[in-house]
Amino acid sequence: MKKKITFMWLLLSMLVLSGCGSSRPVETTEPTSENSNIVVGFSQLGAESDWRSANTESMKDAFSEAAGYTLVFKDGQQKQTNQITAIRTFIQQDVDYIVLAPVTESGWESVMEEAKEAGIPIILVDRLVDVSDKSLYQCWVGSDFELEGKKVCEWLHQYTLQNDIAAEDLHIVDLQGTLGSTAQLGRSRGLNEAAIEHGWDIVALRDADFTQEKGREVMTSLLRTYDNINVVYCENDNEAIGAIKAIEAAGLVPGKDIANGEIMVLSFDGINEEALEYAREGKIACIGECNPLHGPRVEAMIQALERGETPEKYNYVEEHIFSALPDVASITVDGVEYAVTEPVMKEKE
């Protein structure tokens, strides 16, 4: 709500009309267009991946001046302290709404209570926060990360069935995303539960922080430590690109022919064009799509709140599963069938 701007105009008009300003009476007019914008403070967690850049672009497109918004954007550079500082700045600026893409789930309670006391609604995007009082945020839009993990693991399971690969012959390393983030927790859980169900060997888990450099560095170290790795589960495309560089630098081959020494690369996102090309080539066997286009959905939530409506609390975006390998045409997870489709980037809506 543009509570403060209206008040300022009213105060100014009263001052002028009472003769504290020019002698000519000034009609109280509606705030001019530049004063009627809805002010949105957006605390983005960082710029660590192509997914993140696409998410930022989607938000900036949705909250344009032309659409009636003033967007105050703060990049947290993957540090929660920066995001907390950003939120406190938004409170001081008395923005109309705060949008938060939290880097990890814990540690948000007090700053979100400060926003609530200031009467500023918070909308969460992408990852979630672990707070006991769910009224600290109005609503959330993002992905079901555990479902993403289940889908990629079901694809792997079906691939092994189609190619007579025994479950116990899979030796998997998990290049995890930023530890404690909802995306990492869900994708790691999806793999862990599938490994227990099917009897896969999880050789090692390492934090690769959703970045290409960490993916390369961690995979290099793992290849020096273990000689039986034949599947690498990368929790985003940037890690997968780094892992592929490490595999090839070690003189090994990223591919689908596990039985003959190739290392199968699995990934998530489907935003990075290089990763999509790798998927089309078969260097990445399967990508669990993660949709970054939250901008229009968050904008619709703010419009609903402006109308005094209550948006759905949790809003999931639609996502597919990509592979260029012909072995698995579709998968079924939790009773829902998903067609496996060609690796193509999601079009902006």
The residue from 52, 151, 216, 283 that contacts ligand GZL (CB under 6 A) is: 52
Cβ proximity of 202 and 196 under 8 Å? no
Cβ proximity of 214 and 192 under 8 Å? no
The CA distances from residue 234 to 38, 183, 215, 275, 292, in Å, are 39, 12, 8, 12, 18
Provide the minimum distance between the beta carbon of 272 and ligand GZL in the complex, in angstroms, as a whole number. 8
DSSP string, 127-143: S----S-GGGSSEEEE-
The verdict on 128 binding ligand GZL (CB under 6 A) reads no
Provide the minimum distance between the beta carbon of 42 and ligand GZL in the complex, in angstroms, as a whole number. 15
Q: Which is nearer to ligand GZL, 291 or 323 (CB)?
A: 291
Rg of the chain in Å (alpha carbons): 24
Helix (H) / strand (E) element for 21: namely none
Q: Which is nearer to ligand GZL, 97 or 268 (CB)?
A: 268
Q: Which is nearer to ligand GZL, 138 or 211 (CB)?
A: 211
Sites for ligand GZL among residues 18-37 (CB under 6 A): none
Cβ proximity of 308 and 128 under 8 Å? no
Provide the minimum distance between the beta carbon of 149 and ligand GZL in the complex, in angstroms, as a whole number. 11
Cβ proximity of 125 and 101 under 8 Å? yes
DSSP string, 233-269: EESSHHHHHHHHHHHHHTT--BSS-GGGT-BEEEEEE
Provide the minimum distance between the beta carbon of 211 and ligand GZL in the complex, in angstroms, as a whole number. 8
Measured between alpha carbons, how far is 142 from 148 in angstroms, rounded to an integer? 12
CB contact set of 57 (below 8 Å; sequence gap of 6+): 295
Q: Which is nearer to ligand GZL, 57 or 94 (CB)?
A: 57
Provide the minimum distance between the beta carbon of 148 and ligand GZL in the complex, in angstroms, as a whole number. 8
The residue from 40, 41, 44, 48 that contacts ligand GZL (CB under 6 A) is: 48
The residue from 269, 289, 299, 319 that contacts ligand GZL (CB under 6 A) is: 269
Number of residues that bind ligand GZL (CB under 6 A): 14
Paired tokens of 146 = 């555990």
Q: Which is nearer to ligand GZL, 149 or 255 (CB)?
A: 149
Using the rule CB under 6 A, give the single segment among 44-52, 61-69, 277-285, 327-335 that binds ligand GZL. Answer: 44-52
Mark residues 137-166: x for contact with ligand GZL by CB under 6 A, - for none: -----xx-----------------------
The residue from 54, 111, 183, 302 that contacts ligand GZL (CB under 6 A) is: 183
Sequence-ordered alpha helix ranges (H) in the chain: 3-15, 33-36, 50-62, 80-93, 109-117, 145-162, 182-198, 212-225, 237-249, 273-281, 295-306
Paired tokens of 242 = 């780094």
Provide the minimum distance between the beta carbon of 268 and ligand GZL in the complex, in angstroms, as a whole number. 5
Mark residues 193-232: x for contact with ligand GZL by CB under 6 A, - for none: -----------------x----------------------
Provide the minimum distance between the beta carbon of 139 and ligand GZL in the complex, in angstroms, as a whole number. 16
Residues near ligand GZL, by CB under 6 A: 48-49, 51-52, 126-127, 142-143, 183, 210, 236, 268-269, 290
